[in-house]
Amino acid sequence: MPEGLTLLGHGIAHFLTWEGLFNLAWASLLGIVIGALPGLTATMGVALLVTLTYKMPPDQAILCLMALYVGAIYGGSRSAILLAIPGTPASAATTLDGYPLARAGKAGMAMGIATTSSALGTLVGIFFLALIAPWLAEFALRFGSYEFFWLALFGVLISGRLTAIEDPLKGYIAGILGLLAAMIGMEGLHAFQRFTFGVSALGGGINLIPAMVGAFGFAEILAVMKRRFTAELVTSDDRVLPRLADITRYWRTTIRSGIVGTIAGIIPGVGEDIGAWASYAAARRASKEADQFGKGSIEGLVAAETGNSAVIPGAMIPTLTLALPGSAAAAVLIAAMFIHGIRPGPLLMTENPAFLYQIVGILLLTTIAITVFGLSLTKLLVRVLLVPREKLMPVVYVLCVVGSFAITQRMFDVYVMIAFGLIGFVLREMRYPMAPLVLGIVLGDLLDVNLRRGLLLSDGDVTPFFTRPISAVLFAIIAVTILMSLPMVSRRVTDLFKRLDPQRRAG
Amino acid sequence: MTDPSADPQTERHMNRVDLITGGVFAVLGLAIAYLSWTMPRLEMRGIHPATVPGLVPGLLGLALAFCGAVLGLKAYREGRGAGGWSDLLALFRTEEAGRFCAVAGLALVYALVLVGLLPFWLASTAFVFAFIVVFEAWLSPQPRPLLRSALWAAVQGVIVGVAVTLVFQYGFLVRLP
């Protein structure tokens, strides 16, 4: 414990330099602006910033990316409150109570509460990150090929199950498509080139950053510009700085939402939007003012904003310790870490223990930065919301093109970006979630190599995949996840629980 | 979160979309499984037969084919009544489809034709200019006067084109296309 605290102190102090503070300031402010602008998401921002920071020292580059990520998730609340349009999908639940509050002349109060709730949500998440991550990394040292195979499969499946809007099947298909995209190029066991069809540029496989810039940048531009835009800005001049009583009044909701958000973050590929909706639903169930939810409830706003912000540190737990992205933006962070020579995974605490605490330090400093910016730059951020998308989107697209090109300086990556943008747009229009697709691309190699390495170790015998204790548990979870997504099975299980629960039976 | 299932017309055309995509994924999955089956098994190199390169893609291809078939069958059984196909075709004649074609067309011409043909700053200037003018003067619910829009679009286009080029070429030392 004392060693952990010392490392944490070093992690914070590491960035208390002029360079660190300058990078923290511009990246978190840029994040807030990106988040506030409807159509620009946190994942898109992080993916584009990777291309702008790849020449920086690794620690400073990760600082910029993390600060932008946290800033963007918070920034989305601005447009949710003032325009009734979530700046990022993470703020969709914020709209429900934020906008009615703004219409009631309490826009300032709503912005203030959103800011402090975001900060507190991040703090709750940070607490669990510092607590769980070192333990999980140590536990993960027991994982072998069998366990990593199941873990990769579990990540893609659970993400597909929880992010699909209506049908888990579409989530699974998106995940399989991502895994198949990862099969393109040279495989990791025998250096054989698969599905390259004579195209030499495909030999290295699909580069994650251009694919993400396409799926979250170009696809978003297409989706935003397709729609006609009719939004009305509602603002007021009431006090932005919240009173202490306003913050402490809902402390139970804050802690509960922080925990729910952190759990959503830990589950692979389940991002901030699900975290916000889950904590909003939990808060409404437990609230004495449940009837006010959706009509301008401060508690609802607290739950949504605490929930989405707590996802970020939560998502860093599997990202850092298992290299299993907790959210779509965390998938980009993994790619960025590899670019900068940092290897997330169970060995991180052995090879580079300071890094985990540097991440905790970055999150703490960014929390302070977004609180200061959020409470002080109200007028500037309102002005940002008025930038017309006709003027903004072509600039973003130019950055998508040049950003995809910049890392390896070849046009092939621009073509990858365009292909993933078009495919991503079409899939999204057909209600396929993007997170499992991204997770599939990230985890494809892990799944492929570990399945075949496991079979090699067991001389072709599949039983160790089911008999080793951790493998058996992971397999059981996967089996239950798949079975529960079958309507026939989930209906029967629900009926069974209803029969076992006398209260429900009476109701 | 908006409930997308509220509109019966949307549900009808989504049903047809699922029917088509289910079939496409089933065929694609089987094709991938076939390609994986016929993939070299590297016997000459003496690798373990359980580690052939086609193993995982083959399994994934079968999984995709299965999920596609289930999706298609579910859509076929749910049906959702007549009019689904005409609803689906009508989707391509909406104003939204026109706006999508305009964005996609401009984006593809810029990235696939102009970049490489013209100096990067000029290609970017032309793209930003065209994008703003098209969406402000023609495809806007309240169109702005063409001349005024074109003037400001040209100014923004030049600023973006030159600034991005300078930042990447001299700041990040990227040899732009």
Q: Is the pLDDT score of A404 beyond 60? A: yes
- Do B65 and B121 sit in the same domain of this protein? no
Q: What is the pLDDT of residue B177?
A: 82
Q: What is the least distance, in Å, from the CA of B59 to any CA of chain A?
A: 10
Establish how many alpha carbons lie within 13 A of residue A100's alpha carbon, considering only the half-sphere containing its beta carbon.
13
Assigned domain for B177 exists: no
Query: And the tokens for A472?
Result: 């058996």
Q: What is the pLDDT of residue B140?
A: 82
Q: What is the pLDDT of residue B81?
A: 61
Assigned domain for B120 exists: yes
pLDDT band, residue A507 (cuts 50/70/90): very low
The 8-class DSSP code of residue B118 comes to B
d(C-alpha A385, C-alpha A168), whole Å: 35
The sign of the torsion formed by the CA atoms of A268, A273, A276, A279 equals negative
A239-250 core/surface letters (b: 16 or more CB in 10 A; e: else): ebebeeeebeeb
On average, the pLDDT of chain A sits at 91
Tokens 């590929």, residue? Answer: A269
pLDDT tens sequence across B150-174: 999 999 999 999 999 998 888 878 8
- Do B145 and B161 sit in the same domain of this protein? yes
- Do B111 and B86 sit in the same domain of this protein? no
How many domains are contained in chain B? 2
- Do B75 and B116 sit in the same domain of this protein? no
Q: What is the pLDDT of residue A269?
A: 85
Q: Which residues contact A477 (CB under 8 A, 6 or more apart)?
A: A154
Assigned domain for B34 exists: yes
Give the domain range for residue B34. Answer: 4-91
- Do B108 and B163 sit in the same domain of this protein? yes
Q: What is the least distance, in Å, from the CA of B50 to any CA of chain A?
A: 5
Beta carbons of B56 and A448 less than 8 Å apart: yes
Q: Which residues of A touch B57 (CB under 8 A)?
A: 180, 183, 194-195
Beta carbons of B56 and A447 less than 8 Å apart: yes
CA B143 from centroid of its chain's CA atoms: 28
Query: And the tokens for A226?
Result: 């397709």
Q: What is the CA radius of gyration of chain B?
A: 25
Beta carbons of B95 and A93 less than 8 Å apart: no
Query: Per-residue pLDDT averaged across A249-277, rounded?
Result: 94
Nearest-10 Cα torsion for A224, A225, A230, A231: 40
Assigned domain for B141 exists: yes
d(C-alpha A237, C-alpha A439), whole Å: 43
DSSP, collapsed to helix, strand or coil, labels residue A461 as coil
Choose the mutation target among A402, A458, A461 for the interface with B, i.e. most B CBs under 10 Å: A402
pLDDT tens sequence across A135-194: 999 999 999 999 999 999 999 999 999 888 678 999 999 999 999 999 999 998 999 999
Q: Which residues of A touch B164 (CB under 8 A)?
A: 398-399, 402
- Do B49 and B102 sit in the same domain of this protein? no
Backbone φ/ψ region at A39: left (φ over 0), alpha (ψ -120 to 50), beta: left
pLDDT tens sequence across B30-63: 999 999 999 999 888 889 999 999 999 999 999 9
Q: What is the pLDDT of residue B1?
A: 39
The domain boundary, picked from B69, B91, B113, lies at: B91
Nearest-10 Cα torsion for A246, A252, A255, A256: -130
Q: What is the least distance, in Å, from the CA of B159 to any CA of chain A?
A: 10
Q: Which residues contact A232 (CB under 8 A, 6 or more apart)?
A: A83, A84
pLDDT band, residue B84 (cuts 50/70/90): low
Q: Which of A225, A388, A418 sits opposite B111 (nearest CB)?
A: A418
Q: Are B131 and B106 in contact (CB under 8 A)?
A: yes
User: Closest Cα to residue A476, out of A154, A142, A148, A172?
Assistant: A154
Q: Which residues contact A299 (CB under 8 A, 6 or more apart)?
A: A250, A253, A283, A287, A289, A292, A293
The CA–CA distances, whole Å, from B172 to A11, A54, A55, A359, A404 equal: 28, 9, 7, 25, 14
User: Closest Cα to residue A258, out of A210, A202, A309, A297?
Assistant: A309
The domain boundary, picked from B61, B91, B121, lies at: B91
Q: Is the pLDDT score of A503 beyond 60? A: no
Beta carbons of A398 and B71 less than 8 Å apart: no
The domain boundary, picked from B56, B76, B91, lies at: B91
Q: Are A85 and A276 in contact (CB under 8 A)?
A: no
The CA–CA distances, whole Å, from A421 to A211, A394, A414, B110 equal: 8, 15, 10, 15
Q: Which of A187, A388, A455 sits opposite B50 (nearest CB)?
A: A455
The CA–CA distances, whole Å, from B160 to A90, A150, A395 equal: 30, 47, 7
d(C-alpha A480, C-alpha A137), whole Å: 25
Beta carbons of A397 and B116 less than 8 Å apart: no
Q: Which residues of A touch B51 (CB under 8 A)?
A: 189-190, 452-453, 455-456
Query: Per-residue pLDDT averaged across A406-433, rounded?
Result: 93
- Do B74 and B118 sit in the same domain of this protein? no
Helices B120-133 and B95-108 cross at an angle (nearest 10°) of 170
- Do B20 and B73 sit in the same domain of this protein? yes
Q: Are A265 and A287 in contact (CB under 8 A)?
A: no
The 8-class DSSP code of residue B143 comes to P
d(C-alpha A197, C-alpha A200), whole Å: 8
- Do B133 and B72 sit in the same domain of this protein? no
User: Closest Cα to residue A131, out of A25, A258, A245?
Assistant: A258
Tokens 């706006």, residue? Answer: B99
Q: Which residues of A touch B160 (CB under 8 A)?
A: 394-395, 398
Maximum alpha-carbon separation in chain A:
71
- Do B79 and B137 sit in the same domain of this protein? no
Beta carbons of B4 and A170 less than 8 Å apart: no
Beta carbons of A221 and B107 less than 8 Å apart: yes
Beta carbons of B1 and A93 less than 8 Å apart: yes
Percent of chain A with pLDDT over 90: 74
User: Closest Cα to residue A249, out of A94, A376, A109?
Assistant: A109
Q: Is the pLDDT score of B23 beyond 90? A: yes
d(C-alpha A100, C-alpha A97), whole Å: 5
d(C-alpha A402, C-alpha A147), whole Å: 39
Maximum alpha-carbon separation in chain B:
72
Query: And the tokens for A449?
Result: 């190599």
> Among all residues of chain B, which has the CA nearest to that of A448?
B56
pLDDT band, residue A496 (cuts 50/70/90): confident
pLDDT band, residue A506 (cuts 50/70/90): very low
Between B153 and A233, residue with greater pLDDT = B153
Q: Which of A183, A190, A228 sits opposite B56 (nearest CB)?
A: A183
Assigned domain for B80 exists: yes
Q: Is the pLDDT score of B108 beyond 50? A: yes
d(C-alpha A233, C-alpha A95), whole Å: 13
Q: What is the least distance, in Å, from the CA of A61 to any CA of chain B?
A: 14
Please report the ipTM that was assigned to this predicted complex: 0.93
Terminal CA-CA length for chain B: 41
Chain A CB within 8 Å of residue B98 CB: no
Beta carbons of B132 and A448 less than 8 Å apart: no
> Among all residues of chain B, which has the CA nearest to that of A182?
B57
Query: Per-residue pLDDT averaged across B113-122, rounded?
Result: 94
In B75-94, the residues whose Cβ lies within 8 Å of chain A are: none
Q: What is the least distance, in Å, from the CA of B79 to any CA of chain A?
A: 16
User: Closest Cα to residue A480, out of A261, A265, A161, A175?
Assistant: A161
Assign 3-class secondary structure to A368-402.
Answer: HHHHHHHHHCHHHHHHHHCCCHHHHHHHHHHHHHH
The 8-class DSSP code of residue A458 comes to T
Between chain A and chain B, the number of residue pairs with CB atoms below 8 A apart is: 160
Phi, psi values for residue A386, rounded to 5°: -90, 0
Q: Which residues of A touch B50 (CB under 8 A)?
A: 452, 455-456, 459-460
Beta carbons of B51 and A173 less than 8 Å apart: no
Query: And the tokens for A18?
Result: 């002029």
Say which amino acid occupies A343. Answer: R
Chain A CB within 8 Å of residue B1 CB: yes
Percent of chain A with pLDDT over 70: 97
Query: Per-residue pLDDT averaged across B64-71, rounded?
Result: 97
Tokens 């920086």, residue? Answer: A56
Q: Are A78 and A262 in contact (CB under 8 A)?
A: no
- Do B85 and B29 sit in the same domain of this protein? yes
Choose the mutation target among A97, A390, A453, A486 for the interface with B, i.e. most B CBs under 10 Å: A390
Query: pTM here?
Result: 0.92
- Do B55 and B33 sit in the same domain of this protein? yes
User: Closest Cα to residue A115, out of A378, A386, A379?
Assistant: A378
The sign of the torsion formed by the CA atoms of A400, A29, A276, A78 equals negative
Phi, psi values for residue B109, rounded to 5°: -60, -40
Beta carbons of B172 and A218 less than 8 Å apart: no
Assigned domain for B176 exists: no
Between A502 and A359, residue with greater pLDDT = A359
Say which amino acid occupies A504. Answer: R
d(C-alpha A357, C-alpha A458), whole Å: 38
The full DSSP string for A26-58 is HHHHHHHHHHHSTT--HHHHHHHHHHHHTTS-H
